[in-house]
Amino acid sequence: MKMKKTLLSLLCVAMATLLHATTPGTACENAIYVDSTFSQNIEPNRTYWYTANSEDLPLIVYFFPNEESENDPQVYVDLTCTPGVYSDPNVASMVADLANYEAYFPAEMDLEVVMVDGKKTYKLHYERDILDAFAAFNIDYSIPAYVSLRTDVAGTAQIDNYKVIQNCEELSIRADMQDTLNLLANDTSRTYYFPVTEWVGSKLRFTWTGETPLLAYLDNTCVIDTANAYDRYTFSSSNNGLPAQVLSDVQINQYVRYTEDGNMYVKFYAQEDGKLYVDDYKEHGVVTINTCAMNYKTTAITFPTSEAGLALTKNVTSASKSFRFKADDVKDKNIRLKWQSANHEDATAIFAKFCGFEFTPKDPDVIDTVHFYYNEQDGFMYADLLKERVNDIAAKHTDGWVFLQINRIEEGTLWWDEFIPPVIDCNTKSTLLAINDTVDMPAYNQNTIYRLNADEWKDSIHCLVWEGTKQAYIFIADTCEFSLAANNMHVGLYKQVGSNDSTIIDKDKINDLILNRADGLGNIYLRLRSAAKGKLITKTMSEIPGTTTDLKPIEATWENRTTKLILIDNHIYIQVIEQDHTYLYDLMGNKIQ
């Protein structure tokens, strides 16, 4: 009996902190599915997980605390808990690009503080942030999302789906892409709705056949106040000589952000009978790619060049001319942008596949954004692009052209040229991380790089323990210099580790990393990032010769899976490997990691 109690202690962690993965709501892979208004009393300092398909639910999380607290609740949104989510190339691209902007999954979200019946209440509408990212990357709306909630005081969690708003669909007329609406003169009794999730990343064009002006009132509810509508349009452009109005993809994405039931509602006012055509406007307004190339909105530059710098005014806008260059001119080159201004204010180089783009990574035309860094020695700011990144930008050209704009606060001078990347001395830039070691990690630390010696780490099972109040992100790569993105070309292993939790690197995986990622010095490299300080602890595990076949009937439940017995701190555990996942059980068959 004593042995069984001992074996129940959590693997690798000094304090026993079982995950209770079999209890609904205690882990993202075992989240509580919410399909209607849901309410639950929650205990302090315990994490609760919920999930819903975002196609069905605008998931809104409310927390009603029983008492005042100095600390706001912690809420995280996760997409990566879903098996196979990275198999979608758009999702993989989104996750990688967001990582370049220091946004990682699970993503910590700030809650709005609202007053309900005179009491302080917290509210999270996760779609305001997550669906913006979906829209920017043209990702289908129906990707499951997982939301965790943890507070230091007891209270009530209410997960709401705003189903009451659905009455608007019953009171309105649905309109689709490639639709024709028959409008009657002076009739404002009918309201149309457009499922904005079908228009994510697209432009919506209305073309009116009448000769008199047409007014359009748009809102996120069917109860439209024409005097105070969210948007109001008098048709101002033309489509083959007919009055037309285009809603940009940025505007559509705003409706995705703020819609309460997934729909955009429109009320039209016409002075005469007529037809209104609806279509997906795939061009770029009145400025086409041809006019981009014909000097209408761009200035041609030769890339690269080391000629005299180009003087630029301050406060660039989307109406300003961008620069265009041939994609073939930059292939297989390491490009350096050099910027000089009086006060060294922030500046960003934005690459796009169209000249009339918005200065935000959410614009679908934006390919990449590069931040300048200041060099105190020579007084210049630099943005260096290695050829792998340059080739990725060049590959996304339009008709052979790539467009560039410098988003800057103050006036300055711009140069562009090739450069020779310095030889990286990873041995000097990194710190040796030994097995069975403990290191302190500051919050938001990205500069400490650890090297793992191949001869020491190979042929063993390793457990990485993170002791911190917030989760950590672990990256293992073939060089000491790499961006912290899950699918970065240098990254061979990416792990998310919960607060006071651990993760295992199987022997086959560590050997694969060493075989394919070790550099000329026989090292692989680890970087770790967390929003809170903590400790990283490494432990080594040993396999026990033999099989688990004598552990019937436990073995029968793991048919067609690889099972091993392992020894950790003189305790025996069962390791179960299923596809790309590794789980640990005690000898009673209880899952502990």
Give the whole-angstrom CA distance, residue 92 versus residue 86. 5
Q: Where are the domains of the chain?
A: 31-161, 165-280, 289-418, 426-542
165-280: which CATH architecture? Sandwich (2.60)
| Position with higher pLDDT, 268 vs 346 | 268
Note the pLDDT of residue 432.
93
E strand or H helix at 428, and its extent? Answer: helix 426-429
Note the pLDDT of residue 86.
60
Note the pLDDT of residue 555.
46
Note the pLDDT of residue 17.
38
Fold of the CATH domain 31-161: Jelly Rolls (2.60.120)
Note the pLDDT of residue 9.
27
Considering only 82-91, 285-294, 378-387, 539-548, which range has the smallest mean pLDDT?
285-294
CA–CA distances in Å: residue 156 to residues 42, 148, 354:
6, 14, 49
CATH 3.40.1670.10, applies to 289-418: no
DSSP 189-235: S--EEEEGGGSTT--EEEEE-SSS-EEEEEESSSS--TTS-SEEEE-
Q: For 508, left (φ over 0), alpha (ψ -120 to 50), or beta?
A: alpha
SS3 62: strand
Closest CA to 352 of 315, 409, 309, 407: 407
Note the pLDDT of residue 236.
75
Average pLDDT, the chain: 77
Mean pLDDT of 325-351: 91
- Asked if residue 418 lies in contact with residue 334, where contact means CB atoms within 8 angstroms, the answer is yes
| Position with higher pLDDT, 168 vs 43 | 43
Split at pLDDT 50, 70, 90, the class of 8 is very low
Mean pLDDT of 49-70: 74
Span 240-257, pLDDT tens digits: 678 888 887 777 777 766
Note the pLDDT of residue 5.
25
Fold of the CATH domain 426-542: Jelly Rolls (2.60.120)
Give the whole-angstrom CA distance, residue 238 versus residue 41. 57
| Position with higher pLDDT, 14 vs 366 | 366
Note the pLDDT of residue 6.
24
**Paired sense of beta strands 322-326 and 298-300, if any:** parallel
Note the pLDDT of residue 15.
30
Q: Which of the listed ranges 247-256, 495-504, 559-568 does the model predict with the highest average pLDDT?
A: 495-504
pTM of the model: 0.43
Residue 559 phi, psi dihedral angles, 5° rounding: -60, 140
Span 167-220, pLDDT tens digits: 677 788 888 777 778 888 888 888 998 887 777 767 788 888 888 889 999 988
- Asked if residue 568 lies in contact with residue 586, where contact means CB atoms within 8 angstroms, the answer is no
Distant-in-sequence, close-in-space partners of 118: CB < 8 Å, separation ≥ 6: none
Is 336 a residue whose pLDDT tops 90? yes
E strand or H helix at 4, and its extent? Answer: helix 2-7
Is 328 a residue whose pLDDT tops 90? yes
Q: Which of the listed ranges 92-106, 375-389, 487-501, 576-590 does the model predict with the highest average pLDDT?
A: 375-389
Note the pLDDT of residue 445.
66
Closest CA to 276 of 201, 176, 200, 198: 176
Mean pLDDT of 386-404: 88
Span 438-476, pLDDT tens digits: 998 887 666 688 999 999 999 988 989 889 888 888 889
CA distance between the termini of the chain: 22
CA–CA distances in Å: residue 496 to residues 414, 582, 583:
40, 14, 15
Span 96-132, pLDDT tens digits: 777 766 667 777 777 778 776 677 888 775 554 565 5
CA–CA distances in Å: residue 417 to residues 307, 344, 383, 437, 573:
9, 20, 11, 45, 58
Is 549 a residue whose pLDDT tops 80? no
Considering only 63-77, 407-421, 538-552, which range has the smallest mean pLDDT?
538-552
Distant-in-sequence, close-in-space partners of 219: CB < 8 Å, separation ≥ 6: 225, 229, 230, 231, 264, 265
